[in-house]
Amino acid sequence: MAVFSKFLVHLNPKMWLVGDLSPPLSVPTVLSTFIICILGFYIFKWLSGDGNVPIRDSSKNHSWIPIKIASKAWYCSICESFLINGIGVYCDCCGVCADPECVKKANVKLQCKAITSNNEKQLHHWVKGNLPLGAVCCLCNEDCSMEPGLIDYQCCWCQRTVHTSCLSKLPQDCDFGPFRNMIVPPWCVQVARRKGALNKHLLLRGVKDPGWKNWTPLVVVANKKSGNNDGAVVLSEFRKYLNPVQVVDLSSRKPAAALQWAVLLAPKEVWMLVGGGDGTVAWMLTASHKLDLDPEPPLAIVPLGTGNDLSRVLGWGRENPPELDVGEILRNMQEARVAQLDRWKVEITSSRHLGLRIPNKTLYMYNYIGIGVDAQVALNFHKTRDSLFYVFSSRIFNKILYLCFGTQQVVTSVCKNLEQKLEVYLDGKQIDLPELESIVILNIPSWGAGVNLWGLLGNTFGRPSQSYHDGILEVLGIYSSFHIAQLQMGLSTPVKLGQAKTVEVRLKAKSPIQIDGEPWEQHPCMLKVTLVNKCPVLINQTRN
């Protein structure tokens, strides 16, 4: 019975939007079947752990990560000793630091940044020592940390730094500092405690609006396990500036878990910041569409990895900078403008293959679709990425790999005479194709890591300009993989095929396809691209 009542608690209409499970559709006539269904569903839900979003219990321990050696001198927050060779850990939420011997003591003695609280009055949460380089006292404006040792303080909410001697002269109340309009204060986070098989979990149950002027909470998502550790750095750095619950790791949670914030706060608007490549961004945008959120959260990007065409177009940069400056990103976001990006639906209806009926697919596109040699390049690259070889490679090495695949002979033979393998219809009218190896359908003015293909055509008379919110696609052809290399260096122009509101491609033979950088081998099919709606995105309009 306890299980049953718990299930009823979970049975709120919003939940169906969030979980990946569909509701048990048919109501069985036999009561026992009904109960078994409920039990099965509940157990499955419990196992999959989705729906209600589990969060870290910050009252138990700190969020320890190893210290980066080269950065600065570190002192243990417990025994105050200098960490020789930087061997130790620090908490990426509150900044407490510990040598291996003192970790357990630090968990018990030093409170981490509180995720939730019952008290509307927020005091500064001062953490002693290990201030950032160049820290200045907020009271007397003199430099902090002028002597070695665990000295001076920083508040882990407002990020203010202060001398030990000046601390008593400061007011105790914390105003959350310059990024207050993006922070969810602890008293607004409602959690529930749930008993699991092994231990207790905290679940995010609700979020209150603090009623502050211009308050638009920010939710940050990235994948901790993404290449080169970049995703982990993004997650860590933002935990320090925001309430750690606002930061969601996509390696352990689905996009829907991050978007739960938008569900809980509706009709209040939430902003998203996605750390990742074009694929991750598209994944979030599509999840947001499938949840039918109202309002849909506008999204900004911290570009990670290669490509990043959408990030370039929206002004968030082409690759992640070596040092992530969270303060700058948050300031730029405060000045950002919301724009509308066309969201395209790609319906793929397959013909019979070897007598088998292949299910139809519906995908979504935000950047571009490639059919032919460019998709083959991406496919080869992905295959390498799955291999052990890739794991040991650095970012620069990846770029070299990308270049190599672009000029491989094997690529050419696969896609030769693509024009004979497909038919292209723009707004229902079939167009003539010259001899080519790739068809590109563009939504945004950036392709293949920053190439403005349509722009390369130059100012030919009567050519309408390209825009990502005009409901029109640009269709172009590419001759060969060598032609791709030439285009990337701006040494050639692509083949102009036209612009259209609806693009249909009849694929008559197996061919590689990519949508927003995700490639696969596609069997003969009909591919139809139509506008669905527009999704809000954030434009960095800061000028330097």
Which positions from 92 to 111 touch ligand NAG by CB under 6 A, shown as an x/- string?
Answer: ---------------x----
Q: Is 199 in the site for ligand NAG (CB under 6 A)?
A: no
Q: C-beta of 100: minimal distance to ligand NAG in Å?
A: 12
Which of ligand NAG, Zn ion, none does residue 216 bind to, with CB < 5 to 8 Å depending on kind?
A: none
> Which sign, positive or negative, has the C-alpha torsion 111, 117, 119, 123?
positive
Nearer to ligand NAG, 146 or 354 (CB): 354
CA end-to-end span of the chain: 63
Task: Report the alpha-carbon distance of residue 200 to residue 186 in Å, rounded.
Answer: 20
Distance CA 151, CA 148 (A): 8
Q: C-alpha distances in angstroms, 196 versus 18, 43, 71, 361, 518?
A: 20, 11, 40, 37, 37
> Considering beta carbons, is residue 80 or 328 the nearer one to Zn ion?
80
The sheet with strand 518-522 has its strands ordered as 495-500, 473-478, 438-442, 368-372, 511-515, 518-522
Whose Cβ is closer to ligand NAG: residue 48's or residue 59's?
59
Q: Which of Zn ion, ligand NAG, none has residue 93 at its interface (CB below 5 to 8 Å by kind)?
A: Zn ion
Pairing of strands 89-91, 97-98: antiparallel
Query: Which CB, 165 or 420, lies closer to Zn ion?
Result: 165
Instruction: Please tell me whether residue 252 binds ligand NAG under the rule CB under 6 A.
Output: no
Q: Is 355 in the site for ligand NAG (CB under 6 A)?
A: no
Q: Name the binder of 91 from Zn ion, ligand NAG, none, CB < 5-8 A by kind.
A: Zn ion
Residues 522, 512: contact at Cβ < 8 Å?
yes
The residue (of 241 and 316) whose beta carbon lies closer to Zn ion is: 241
**450 contributes a contact to ligand NAG by CB under 6 A:** no
Question: For residues 108-137, which are near Zn ion according to CB under 5 A?
Answer: 112, 124, 137
DSSP label at residue 82: B
- Angle, helices 481-488 vs 373-386, to 10°: value is 90
Say whether residue 239 binds Zn ion (CB under 5 A).
no
Residue 165 C-beta: closest distance to ligand NAG, Å: 35
Could you give the C-alpha distances from 453 to 466, 487, 493, in angstroms and in order?
A: 10, 8, 7
Q: Contact between 240 and Zn ion (CB under 5 A)?
A: no
CB of 512 to Zn ion, least distance (A): 47
Q: Which of residues 42-61 bind ligand NAG (CB under 6 A)?
A: 56, 60-61
- Give yes or no for residue 281 binding ligand NAG (CB under 6 A): no
Binding segment for Zn ion (CB under 5 A), chosen from 151-159, 307-315, 350-358, 490-498, is 151-159
- Residue 313 and residue 445 in contact, taking contact as beta carbons nearer than 8 Å: yes
Closest by CA to 516, choosing from 306, 304, 368, 320, is: 368
Which of 59-67, 194-202, 491-499, 505-513 is the region at the interface with Zn ion (rule: CB under 5 A)? 59-67
Q: Is the Cβ–Cβ distance between 76 and 83 less than 8 Å?
A: yes
Q: In terms of DSSP bridges, do strands 337-350 and 525-539 run parallel, antiparallel, or are they unpaired?
A: antiparallel
Question: Alpha-carbon distance 101 to 497, whole Å?
Answer: 67
Q: Does 99 bind Zn ion (CB under 5 A)?
A: yes
75 binds ligand NAG (CB under 6 A): no
Contact residues for ligand NAG (CB under 6 A)? 56, 60-61, 107, 315-317, 328-329, 332, 349, 357, 359-360, 540, 542-544
